[in-house]
Amino acid sequence: MRFSRVTVPTLKEKPAEAQIPSHELLLRAGMMRAVAAGIYTMLPLGALALQRVEDIVRREMNAAGALEVVLPTLHPADPWMKSGRWHQYGPEMMRLGDRQGRDFCLGPTAEELITEAVAKTAPSYRDLPVNLYQIQTKFRDETRPRFGLIRGREFRMKDAYSFHVDEGDLDRTYDRMRQAYSSVARGCSLPVRVVEAVTGLIGGDVSHEFMVVSGIGEDVLVYCGDCDYGADAELESHSPGGMFGGTEAAAPQEVHTPGLVSVEEVASFLGTGPASVTKCVLYVAGGEAVAVFVPGYREVSETKLARVLGTDEFHPMREDEREKFPAVTAGYTGPVGLEGVRTVFDLEIAGARGLICGANRPDYHLGGVEEGRDFAAEPAFDVATAVQGDACVRCGGELRIARGIEIGHIFKLGVKYSEAMGASFTDRDGKDKPMIMGTYGIGTSRILATVVEQHHDDGGIKWPVSVAPLPVEVLVISPGRREQAEAAERLTRALAGRGMEILVDDREASPGVKFNDADLVGLPLQVVIGKKLDSDGTVDLKVRYTGERRAVRVELAVEEIERALEEAP
CB nearer to RNA: give 92 or 264: 92
Piece in contact with RNA (CB under 7 A), picked from 48-56, 254-262, 444-452, 513-521: 513-521
Cα(360)–Cα(334) distance, integer angstroms: 6
Residue 550 in the binding site for RNA (CB under 7 A): no
CB burial readout 91-105, b (16+ within 10 A) else e = eebbeeeeeeeeebb
Among 67, 96, 122, 201, binds RNA (CB under 7 A): 201
In whole angstroms, the minimum distance from the beta carbon of 543 to RNA comes to: 11
Q: Please give the C-alpha separations between residue 204 and each of 200, 304, 416, in angstroms, as whole numbers.
A: 8, 18, 7
Cα(345)–Cα(144) distance, integer angstroms: 35
301 neighbors 384 (Cβ within 8 angstroms): yes
Among 87, 102, 394, 531, binds RNA (CB under 7 A): 531
Residue 11 in the binding site for RNA (CB under 7 A): yes
CB burial readout 293-323, b (16+ within 10 A) else e = bbbbbbebbbbbbbebbeeeebeebeeeeee
Piece in contact with RNA (CB under 7 A), picked from 40-48, 50-58, 477-485, 488-496: 477-485
Among 359, 402, 452, 520, binds RNA (CB under 7 A): 520
Q: Which of residues 210-269 bind RNA (CB under 7 A)?
A: 218-219, 232, 234
CB-CB neighbours of 281 under 10 Å: 18
In whole angstroms, the minimum distance from the beta carbon of 548 to RNA comes to: 11
Burial of 232 (0-12, 13-18, 19+ CB in 10 A): buried
In whole angstroms, the minimum distance from the beta carbon of 253 to RNA comes to: 36
Contact pattern from residue 33 through residue 72 relative to RNA, giving x for each residue in contact according to CB under 7 A and a dash for the rest = -x-xxx----------------------------------
Residue 126 in the binding site for RNA (CB under 7 A): no
CB nearer to RNA: give 27 or 267: 27
In whole angstroms, the minimum distance from the beta carbon of 89 to RNA comes to: 8
Cα(374)–Cα(26) distance, integer angstroms: 60
Helix, strand, coil share of the chain (percent; to 5): 30, 30, 40
Residue 100 in the binding site for RNA (CB under 7 A): no
User: Measured on CA atoms in the order 176, 195, 185, 218, is the torsion positive or negative?
Assistant: positive
Among 52, 58, 138, 140, binds RNA (CB under 7 A): 140
The residues near 235 (Cβ < 8 Å, ≥ 6 apart) are: 196, 197, 198, 303, 304
Closest CA to 421 of 174, 80, 109: 80
Residue 517 in the binding site for RNA (CB under 7 A): yes
- Supply φ then ψ for residue 60, to 5 degrees: -75, -35
In whole angstroms, the minimum distance from the beta carbon of 380 to RNA comes to: 25
Cα(32)–Cα(149) distance, integer angstroms: 10
Residue 515 in the binding site for RNA (CB under 7 A): yes
Q: Which of residues 267-326 bind RNA (CB under 7 A)?
A: none
CA 75 to chain centre: 26
In whole angstroms, the minimum distance from the beta carbon of 412 to RNA comes to: 13
Residue 532 in the binding site for RNA (CB under 7 A): yes
Among 2, 6, 7, 15, binds RNA (CB under 7 A): 15
The residues near 279 (Cβ < 8 Å, ≥ 6 apart) are: 263, 293, 294, 295, 296, 298, 300
Residue 19 in the binding site for RNA (CB under 7 A): yes
Piece in contact with RNA (CB under 7 A), picked from 112-120, 196-204, 265-273, 329-337: 196-204
Contact pattern from residue 399 through residue 418 relative to RNA, giving x for each residue in contact according to CB under 7 A and a dash for the rest = -------x--x---------
Among 21, 46, 79, 145, binds RNA (CB under 7 A): 145
CB nearer to RNA: give 279 or 542: 542
Burial of 259 (0-12, 13-18, 19+ CB in 10 A): exposed
Residue 388 in the binding site for RNA (CB under 7 A): no
Residue 498 in the binding site for RNA (CB under 7 A): no
Count of residues in contact with RNA, rule CB under 7 A: 57
Residue 193 in the binding site for RNA (CB under 7 A): no
Burial of 261 (0-12, 13-18, 19+ CB in 10 A): middle
Closest CA to 72 of 132, 136, 131: 136
Among 243, 275, 308, 513, binds RNA (CB under 7 A): 513
In whole angstroms, the minimum distance from the beta carbon of 115 to RNA comes to: 17
Cα(98)–Cα(260) distance, integer angstroms: 60
In whole angstroms, the minimum distance from the beta carbon of 487 to RNA comes to: 11
Residue 450 in the binding site for RNA (CB under 7 A): no
CB-CB neighbours of 239 under 10 Å: 16
CB nearer to RNA: give 14 or 102: 14
Residues engaged in binding RNA (CB under 7 A): 5, 10-17, 19, 34, 36-38, 92, 140, 142-147, 199-202, 218-219, 232, 234, 406, 409, 459, 477-478, 480, 508, 510-513, 515-520, 528-533, 539-540, 542, 549
